[in-house]
Amino acid sequence: MLSKYYSSLGAIFVIIFIFVTLPFVYNNQSFLFNMMMYLALAEGLNIIYGFTGYLPFGYVGFFGAGAYGASIVIMFLRISPFLAVLAGGIAAVIIGIILFPLLRLSGAYFAIANLAASQALYYLVANPNLQKITQGPYGIDLSSVYNANASYYLMLGVLVFSMLLVLYMRKTDFGLSLLAIKEDRVTAALAGINIVKTRSIAWMLSAFVAGLCGAVFAWFTAVFYPSTVFNLNVSVFTIVFVLFGGMGTIVGPLLGTLILYSMYNFIGISTPEYFQLFYGLLIMILVLFLPNGVVSILQHWRIDVP
């Protein structure tokens, strides 16, 4: 048990070292920022999907809520972007609380309902009638507070926070309770686990991480449109990264994101037609031969995966 704990801390220190030193040798801050963002989103999705089995196709809704929550308080309250990022996370949690009824659903019903909710939120913020609040379809401009370096390192902080959160869940009764609910809700309830409360907390934590990511993204990009922060590709990419790496672990989502997002940027952007084919074949192989993700290979080799 202790070895896994120290392995997890080691993985976190490695991630910090990589993203602190890479900007000095690889001059593509945007790529590194997006990599960290997807790493954090993957860990955030891991909280609700890896530990409870609930697959939120509309996970991007929390990301968009965070982006707009932070942007609105910056524009109207003129507060520090650092505090605005926290407000973005809280905005995502509020949306999560509003969507609590969705947790009564399961399987495909939950996934589709969550997707519909994220699209409803998109059309709400893009509504021209709300232009005075959300700027409607005309986009947000935060160029007055733009700071690429500060937002870069803040995203690194969000990533470390998300990893520590998953580490906490893996080492405490809370995480074990979630896994018990995932395996058998009836047995978990008979064991005295408050299913509704436990699952709701995981839902809010997952939303909070996505909201923080969206808020920092808004600060980093400075100018964005509703279609940017409510892009369904954010959900799809994040889900695929988690599945490819392996759910319920710290290292799994990290491996999935590092491998697939790197492939997407170095292959997919230059030759998208071939990448889509390669990507599809890769996912088919994963589903057929590695249903538990890349970490299952490491576990087969008796490597202790945190």
Q: What secondary structure does DSSP assign to 21-75, as a single string? A: HHHHH---HHHHHHHHHHHHHHHHHIIIIIHH----TTTHHHHHHHHHHHHHHHH
Q: So what's the pLDDT on residue 106?
A: 82
Lowest mean pLDDT among 1-10, 106-115, 129-138: 1-10
CA distances from 79 to 70, 72, 74 (A): 10, 10, 5
What is the token pair recorded at 294?
């890349």
305 pLDDT more than 60: no
Q: So what's the pLDDT on residue 40?
A: 97
CA distances from 171 to 28, 177, 193, 199, 238 (A): 36, 11, 17, 17, 24
267 pLDDT more than 80: no
123 pLDDT more than 90: yes
194 pLDDT more than 90: no
| pLDDT confidence band for 302 (50 / 70 / 90) | low
62 pLDDT more than 70: yes
Q: So what's the pLDDT on residue 301?
A: 60
| pLDDT confidence band for 204 (50 / 70 / 90) | very high
pLDDT tens, 243-262? 888 887 888 888 889 988 88
Mean pLDDT (whole number) for 23-33: 92
240 pLDDT more than 60: yes
Find the helix or strand (DSSP H, E) in which 166 lies: helix 148-171
| pLDDT confidence band for 52 (50 / 70 / 90) | confident
Average pLDDT, the chain: 88
Q: So what's the pLDDT on residue 268?
A: 63
| pLDDT confidence band for 236 (50 / 70 / 90) | confident
Q: So what's the pLDDT on residue 284?
A: 77
In the chain, what is the greatest distance between 2 CA atoms, to the nearest angstrom?
Answer: 58
Q: So what's the pLDDT on residue 5?
A: 62
